[in-house]
Structure 1
Amino acid sequence: MNKPRKPSVPPEQVTDRLFATERRPEDFRFDASVARVFPDMIRRSVPGYTTIIPMIEVITEQYAQPGSHCYDLGCSLGASTLAMRHGIPHRDCILVGVDNSEAMIERCEHYIALDDNNLPVTLRCEDILDTELSSASVTTLNFTLQFVDPDQRAGLLTRIAKATRPGGVLILSEKIRFETESEQAIQTRLHHEFKRANGYSDLEISQKRTAIEQVLIPETLAAHKERLQAAGFDQVLIWYQCFNFVSMLAIKANTPDTD
């Protein structure tokens, strides 16, 4: 299916200045103030985000199965939801976006309405740990699992794997930590330089890091791969990495032919 690629979310002009002035330390929350600046925040904070989103469309096009469910768990403003929507080649697929932030879902609804693709999208404002999953061919966790309590991650992935059809996939994008302190220091420094190159000040970088470090808990690639395989996925591969941000593809093997 060859068709022109287009931005999945309309450009947002609101600049992220949430941490530009000194503020009282508090945990990061996906509230209305974050939702308002989120497109600018994530573009300037996550290396490779503008590459990952259109590639989710490409992957979805390859793996979406007729009559299946496609889930975007932790959909925020719907960038990956819309990428999946444009990638799904089957009109009988059911696309579901889930987020527990009302502010995010409200803006996501706006972007869905502006999109010119008419494949229906169901949006749910709920905890992804409570979302019912079934007959999935493509599921996306795009920088979402890192915000889930570490003790609950294995259970969530196991439920996703059990709900995934043979030949289906999970797209998992995460900020990771590294096995050695030396590599962690290098990759962190490069990430901070990426933010500085995108106009963030040292104060903004420091205050954002303080706000998010108790909320976003990264893990090593080895831990992710081991847990995905234990959950029931047969193959796990890295299809993208930039500094300490990666995206993985967890694949459920096709059922062997018994004839």
Structure 2
Amino acid sequence: MTSLPITSPGSWVFSGDVPTVFVDHARHSVPLYDAGHDLVCDLSTCFLGGDGPHIGYELGSATGQLLHRLATHGPANHATHWIGVDREAAMVKAAREHCAGLDNVEVVEGDLTTIAYQHCDFVVAYLTMHFLPPGLRREVFRQICQALRPGGAFFMFDKVLAPGAQLEDLITTLHYRFKRNAGLSPEEILNKKESLLGVLQPVSTDDNVALLKEAGFASYGTILKYLAFEGFIAIK
């Protein structure tokens, strides 16, 4: 496994050489990383049937691994226009290369907090929203809800905080063991932790649910959970 280039506290970025090792590192760091991709692809088919045309978004599309799978996951998904959004030029380049040849995929270099969303049917944010401060996250949720057609859905997979210091400490310990068992060294684990200080801004399950409710979603809840990582579905 190739390590990510990590330097000082709070220095985490997705630019530079990160795209070349991003997927491999995520698989060694995030429980259910690939299982979550499987779930999202199956979930998307529940919201893309019937009369079209349909539009789907992946916010924070990174190297385009999930975007490619979404765009090719059966006839309804292939008939959907998929828009990947990422603000890092290196990630956009990698995603465009990975999705080359797919005429139903568009990868946009832009900020998910400021882009103009088209009317759409399905939106995915996979390990993306926990990098936004809660106040900004609230506004993005509202924009997504407004852009979705009635009956459309938003799926978010994020790191969340546990309800209480003792449980947070226990879950963090188990997550570090997961990383160690996956092949990361204690130094790599600590360096990654320090690099994310002030950059990663997770909130609790209850806080996320409150923000989704405030944004205007009709129904919402958890459909995937392992340690500190949780997948939420919100339906307009």
Query: What does residue 147 of structure 1 align with?
Result: 131
- For residues 165 and 37 of structure 2, the distance between their equivalents in structure 1, rounded to whole angstroms, comes to 30
Q: Identity of aligned pairs, percent?
A: 25
Q: 1:202 aligns with which of 186, 189, 205?
A: 186
Q: Structure 2: which amino acid aligns with 1:74?
A: G
Instruction: Kindly indicate whether the alpha-carbon contact (under 8 Å) linking 2:124 and 2:155 is maintained by their aligned counterparts in 1.
Output: yes
Query: What does residue 68 of structure 2 align with?
Result: 82
Q: How many residues are treated as equivalent by the alignment?
A: 233
Query: What does residue 170 of structure 1 align with?
Result: 154
1:54-101 deviation line (CA, Å, top 9, x unaligned): 211101111125212201011001122122212363355321000000
TM-score (norm 1): 0.85
Q: Structure 2: which amino acid aligns with 1:55?
A: L
Query: What does residue 67 of structure 1 align with?
Result: 53
1:154-201 deviation line (CA, Å, top 9, x unaligned): 111001001111111000110000111111011100100000001111
- For residues 74 and 60 of structure 2, the distance between their equivalents in structure 1, rounded to whole angstroms, comes to 19
Q: Which runs of 4+ in 1 moved over 4 A?
A: none
Instruction: Kindly indicate whether the alpha-carbon contact (under 8 Å) linking 1:99 and 1:127 is maintained by their aligned counterparts in 2.
Output: yes
> Are residue 125 (structure 1) and residue 112 (structure 2) matched?
no
TM-score (norm 2): 0.93
Q: Say which SS state the counterpart of residue 75 (structure 2) adopts.
A: coil
Q: Deviation at 1:119?
A: 4.4
Q: Say which SS state the counterpart of residue 113 (structure 2) adopts.
A: helix
Instruction: Kindly indicate whether the alpha-carbon contact (under 8 Å) linking 1:85 and 1:119 is maintained by their aligned counterparts in 2.
Output: no
Distance 1:71 1:194, change over 3 A: same
Query: What does residue 21 of structure 2 align with?
Result: 37
1:102-160 deviation line (CA, Å, top 9, x unaligned): 011111111112x7xx4421111011112211221100011111112322111110010
- For residues 226 and 17 of structure 1, the distance between their equivalents in structure 2, rounded to whole angstroms, comes to 34
Q: Structure 1: which amino acid aligns with 2:73?
A: G
- For residues 9 and 222 of structure 2, the distance between their equivalents in structure 1, rounded to whole angstroms, comes to 35
Q: Structure 2: which amino acid aligns with 1:160?
A: I
1:218-257 equivalences in 2 (<5 Å): 218-252=202-236
- For residues 246 and 27 of structure 1, the distance between their equivalents in structure 2, rounded to whole angstroms, comes to 25
Query: What does residue 111 of structure 1 align with?
Result: 98
What runs of 5+ residues in structure 2 fail to find an aligned partner?
Answer: none
1:192-233 deviation line (CA, Å, top 9, x unaligned): 000000111111111110001210100000000011011011
What runs of 5+ residues in structure 1 fail to find an aligned partner?
Answer: 1-13, 253-259
Query: What does residue 4 of structure 1 align with?
Result: none
Task: Please identify, of 228-237 and 85-94, the stretch whose mean Cα deviation from structure 2 is larger.
Answer: 85-94
Larger Rg: 1
- For residues 74 and 151 of structure 2, the distance between their equivalents in structure 1, rounded to whole angstroms, comes to 15
Q: Deviation at 1:26?
A: 4.6
Q: 1:55 aligns with which of 28, 33, 39?
A: 39
Q: Say which SS state the counterpart of residue 58 (structure 2) adopts.
A: strand
Query: What does residue 195 of structure 2 align with?
Result: 211
Distance 1:17 1:170, change over 3 A: closer
Q: Deviation at 1:17?
A: 4.9
Distance 1:219 1:88, change over 3 A: farther
Q: Say which SS state the counterpart of residue 168 (structure 1) adopts.
A: strand
